[in-house]
């Protein structure tokens, strides 16, 4: 088995929980004393640090949102004097100010450790050549992987993003064995390789760690076959630490959360209520070892579910499923949470239709109805009506099985669903009009 820190990664859960509680209590005390924002929030709720006596008491604490970070821009939530901060990263917001995060020397050490675990789980060791094609800079991707790869003693190739042909030449010449980039860039590299007439047999690549954007199982298969590697999903966000929050092991049955540093919860995004194991909801993290910017119950807006049973790899660290959507995209139909991404993955799985679709939600006789418009390909559309009807039934059944509610599927002609330059408009909710 491949572990970086077997002691922590495979620890008995009772012992782990003792460590988590000790660290949580310390963190709450620290933010209460050092961050006026948290002291005020806790006072408003009528709680003091001494009220946190068990992990279950976590739910008494206030949430933190991205907006709270923006409101305290740039350094308002830092818990140490600025002289202790050795690194600053920021995520560019599409709207408004960026979110600024600060690390102490100790925080950089934690980050290196969790990334070392991530890389080792993906098969890297000190003999590896790790090509980092994530962007370096304020974005946490490049430097996060960089420090982890150095920690395990691998040879780091800090090429950063872009310049695709040069990336490929270096991959061949330098004997890269591990690739780190976004999954879409991995596919782009594979396509460019074909254009350059370079065969995958010329590469020494064995595995890749891919993250920073959502990707499907189909995309994993495509990357694995085109680059002849094993593709690992990694998850992170700069507010919590950057990449290294969670990682896949060789069994690829969810991502192990480094929960000795980041305490996860799943909540109902509407009510804030904490949900149980296996239930889908919004992922929330409390950092329990960070010094620079400790965050209490940070709402990631990512929707997933947690699983606590022991993994085949031997790790006891909880696993989170692939993120299935964002709370911003969620629609509620007859009390059931629906994400456009769920429907998209059903359609991609079937492979017979274009991935262009639109959801129309309406209320008829006080009942919510969901209609799914799906574009068929030119080839399919020329087929006989009977075949189209069969396809419609097949899609309806597949979507209903996934969502657990009845839907009406309507196939539409090629190129009739409006294309958008930016984010596609997937949902038309007539209940709100
Ligand atoms: Zn595992």
Domains of the chain: 1-327 (3.40.50.12780), 331-429 (3.30.300.30)
Cα 199 to Cα 177, 220, 363: the distances in Å are 15, 19, 54
- Tens digits of residue pLDDT in 116-132: 999 999 999 999 999 99
This prediction has a pTM of 0.85
- Helices 183-195 and 217-227, axial angle in degrees (round to 10): 40
pLDDT at 211 over 70: yes
Cis before 403? omega within 30: no
| Spacing, Cα 255 to ligand 1 middle (Å) | 8
Q: Where are the beta strands (DSSP E) in 127-261?
A: 129-132, 155-157, 178-181, 207-210, 230-237, 242-248, 255-257
| Spacing, Cα 251 to ligand 1 middle (Å) | 6
pLDDT of residue 137: 93
* Angle value at C-alpha 325, between 284 and 263, nearest 5 degrees: 15
* Angle value at C-alpha 187, between 358 and 419, nearest 5 degrees: 25
| Spacing, Cα 122 to ligand 1 middle (Å) | 11
Residues in the chain: 433
- Tens digits of residue pLDDT in 156-210: 999 999 899 999 999 999 999 999 999 989 989 998 999 999 999 999 999 999 9
- Helices 385-403 and 340-350, axial angle in degrees (round to 10): 130
| Spacing, Cα 250 to ligand 1 middle (Å) | 7
Cα 65 vs. chain centroid, distance in angstroms? 17
- Tens digits of residue pLDDT in 39-89: 999 999 999 999 999 999 999 999 999 999 999 999 999 999 999 999 999
End-to-end alpha carbon distance in the chain:
56
For 122: left if phi > 0, alpha if psi spans -120 to 50, otherwise beta; the answer is alpha
| Spacing, Cα 212 to ligand 1 middle (Å) | 21
pLDDT of residue 128: 98
| Spacing, Cα 134 to ligand 1 middle (Å) | 25
Q: Is the dihedral of CA 128, 133, 135, 141 positive or negative?
A: negative
């Amino acid at each position: 088995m491949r572990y970086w820190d077997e002691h922590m990664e495979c620890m008995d859960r009772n012992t782990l929980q003792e460590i988590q509680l000790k660290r949580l209590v310390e963190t709450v005390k620290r933010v209460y004393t050092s961050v006026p924002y948290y002291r005020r929030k806790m006072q408003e709720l009528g709680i003091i640090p001494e009220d946190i006596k068990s992990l279950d008491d976590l739910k008494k604490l206030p949430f933190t949102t991205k907006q709270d970070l923006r409101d305290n821009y740039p350094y308002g939530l830092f818990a140490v004097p600025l002289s202790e901060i050795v690194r600053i990263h920021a995520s560019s917001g599409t709207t408004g100010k960026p979110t600024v995060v600060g690390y102490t020397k100790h925080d950089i050490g934690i980050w290196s450790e969790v990334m070392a675990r991530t890389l080792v789980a993906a098969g890297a060791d000190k003999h590896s050549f790790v090509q980092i094609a994530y962007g370096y800079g304020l974005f946490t991707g490049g430097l996060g992987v960089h420090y982890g790869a150095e920690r395990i003693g691998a040879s780091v190739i800090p090429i950063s993003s872009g310049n695709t042909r040069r990336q490929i030449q270096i991959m061949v010449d330098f004997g890269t064995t591990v690739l780190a980039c976004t999954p879409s860039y991995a596919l782009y590299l594979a396509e460019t390789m074909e254009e350059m007439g370079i065969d995958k047999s010329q590469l020494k690549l064995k595995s890749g760690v891919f993250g920073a954007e959502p990707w499907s199982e189909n995309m994993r298969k495509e990357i694995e076959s085109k680059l002849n590697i094993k593709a690992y999903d990694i998850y992170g966000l700069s507010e919590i630490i950057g990449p290294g929050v969670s990682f896949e092991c060789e069994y690829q049955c969810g991502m192990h959360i480094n929960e000795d540093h980041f305490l996860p919860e799943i909540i109902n995004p509407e009510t804030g209520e904490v949900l149980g194991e296996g239930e889908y909801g919004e992922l929330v993290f409390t950092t329990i070892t960070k010094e620079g910017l400790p965050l209490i119950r940070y709402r990631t807006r990512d929707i997933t579910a947690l699983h606590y049973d022991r993994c085949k790899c031997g790790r006891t660290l909880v696993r989170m499923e692939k993120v299935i959507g964002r709370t911003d995209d969620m629609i509620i139909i007859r009390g059931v949470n629906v994400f456009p991404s769920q429907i998209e993955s059903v359609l991609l799985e079937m492979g017979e239709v274009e991935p262009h679709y639109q959801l129309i939600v309406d209320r008829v006789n006080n009942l919510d109805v969901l209609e799914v418009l799906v574009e068929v390909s030119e080839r399919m559309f020329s087929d006989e009506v009977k075949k189209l009807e069969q396809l419609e039934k097949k899609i309806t059944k597949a979507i209903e099985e996934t969502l657990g509610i009845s839907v009406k599927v309507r196939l539409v002609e090629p190129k009739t669903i409006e294309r958008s330059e930016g984010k596609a408009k997937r949902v038309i909710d007539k209940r709100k009009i």
